């Protein structure tokens, strides 16, 4: 019985999310539709730098933030969101750009960052939450890939996030990404969250993590789920 096992929490889960994220080992984290006000607390807790791009449902941001802090369960996704990239040392953010892919039916924006390490190696990272309905996800991802490739015409590139494209359903979309931009590395045939990449050594292929990675246990034994998506992780080597 799912309802008996999980608790509904009528408050922000920022603290639990920040603690969970900070406890993991990573150099770059891509977040989609994270609450606008979370970037600085997440960076502080994880000892990271970061950048964000506002996405949909951000009108009346002050009122939304006030309501979200008190009754986030009432607002749900209407709290407003942002795509975020967090980066830990020795990597640091060298450049940030934001691109609006569409305005209707909801605004979709991509966050682009260029990161570098002290050895002079650099990687371009694009974070995206694509649209949901009909053929809009494929259009969004195609536009995003072209923009990311223009941002980084050479060298390592990661295009990641909630792409809302399943390889089993849309094999042609992923084939075109490989042909046009050399982006590959789908998470799995049924996955919609991906870390597509170019010119990187794959040390561990992208995979979805088990539910325990996004759940925290309350004192009463019930669980709180921090995200409705399973985290996707991968390990890459940079030459």
**pLDDT score of 65:** 53
How many Cα atoms are found within 13 Å in the side-chain-facing hemisphere of 52?
21
Residue 75: is its pLDDT beyond 70? no
Which CATH number characterizes residue 201's domain?
3.60.10.10
Burial class for 38, CB neighbours closer than 10 Å (0-12, 13-18, 19+): buried
DSSP one-letter string for 5-25: HB----S--HHHHHHHHHHS-
Strand ranges across the sheet with 108-116? 92-102, 108-116, 122-129, 157-162, 193-198
222: tokens are: 């019930």
Residue 210 is classified by DSSP as P
pLDDT more than 70, % of the chain? 86
DSSP 184: B
**Is residue 113 domain-resident?**
yes
Q: Taking the model in full, what pTM does it have?
A: 0.86
Mean pLDDT of the chain: 88
Q: Enter the tokens of residue 143.
A: 């536009």
The average pLDDT across 46-54 equals 97
Tell me the per-residue pLDDT of 173-190, one tens digit each, with 9 for 90 and over: 999 999 999 999 999 999
- Confidence at residue 3, expressed as pLDDT on a 0 to 100 scale: 56
Structure tokens at 45: 């807790």
Residue 189 lies in a domain: yes
How many separate domains does the chain show? 1
Beta strand 92-102 with 193-198: parallel, antiparallel or unpaired? unpaired
Question: What is the domain range of residue 93?
Answer: 2-234
Per-residue pLDDT, 13: 86
C-alpha distances out from residue 140 to 1, 14, 100, 167, 190, Å:
37, 29, 10, 15, 19
pLDDT in tens, 200-237: 999 999 999 988 888 888 777 788 888 889 999 999 99
- What would the two tokens of residue 98 be? 């934001």
CA distances, 227 to each of 31, 94, 189, 211, 233 (Å): 11, 29, 21, 10, 15
pLDDT mean over 146-170: 97
Q: 160, 177 in Cβ contact below 8 A?
A: no
Using DSSP bridges, classify how beta strands 157-162 and 122-129 pair: parallel, antiparallel or unpaired: parallel
Q: What is the structure's pLDDT at 57?
A: 55
The answer to whether 158 touches 201, Cβ cutoff 8 Å, is: no
Rounded Cα distance, 109 and 128, in Å: 7
In a domain, 30, yes or no: yes
Inside any domain, residue 239: no
In a domain, 50, yes or no: yes
Phi, psi dihedral angles at 175 (to 5 degrees):
-65, -40
What pLDDT does 1 receive? 41
103 within domain boundaries: yes
Q: Is residue 52 part of a domain?
A: yes
């Amino acid at each position: 019985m799912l309802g008996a096992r999980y608790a509904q929490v009528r408050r922000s889960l920022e603290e639990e999310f920040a603690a969970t994220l900070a406890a993991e080992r990573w150099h770059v984290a891509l977040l989609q539709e994270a609450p606008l006000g979370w970037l600085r607390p997440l960076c502080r807790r994880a000892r990271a730098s970061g950048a964000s791009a506002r996405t949909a449902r951000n009108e009346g941001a002050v009122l939304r933030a006030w309501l979200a802090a008190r009754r986030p369960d009432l607002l749900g996704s209407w709290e407003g969101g942002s795509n975020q990239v967090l980066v830990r040392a020795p990597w640091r953010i060298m450049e940030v750009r934001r691109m609006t892919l569409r305005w209707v039916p909801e605004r979709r924006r991509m966050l682009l960052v260029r990161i570098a390490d002290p050895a002079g190696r650099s990687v371009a990272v694009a974070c995206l939450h694509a649209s949901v309905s009909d053929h809009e996800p494929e259009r969004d991802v195609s536009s995003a890939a072209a923009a990311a490739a223009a941002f980084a015409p050479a060298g390592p590139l990661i295009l990641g996030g909630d792409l809302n494209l399943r390889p089993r359903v849309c094999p042609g979309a992923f084939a075109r990404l490989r042909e046009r931009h050399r982006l590959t590395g789908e998470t799995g045939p049924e996955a919609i969250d991906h870390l597509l990449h170019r010119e990187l050594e794959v040390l561990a292929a992208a995979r979805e993590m088990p539910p325990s990675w996004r759940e925290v246990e309350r004192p009463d034994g019930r669980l709180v789920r921090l995200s409705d998506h399973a985290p996707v992780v991968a390990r890459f080597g940079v030459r």
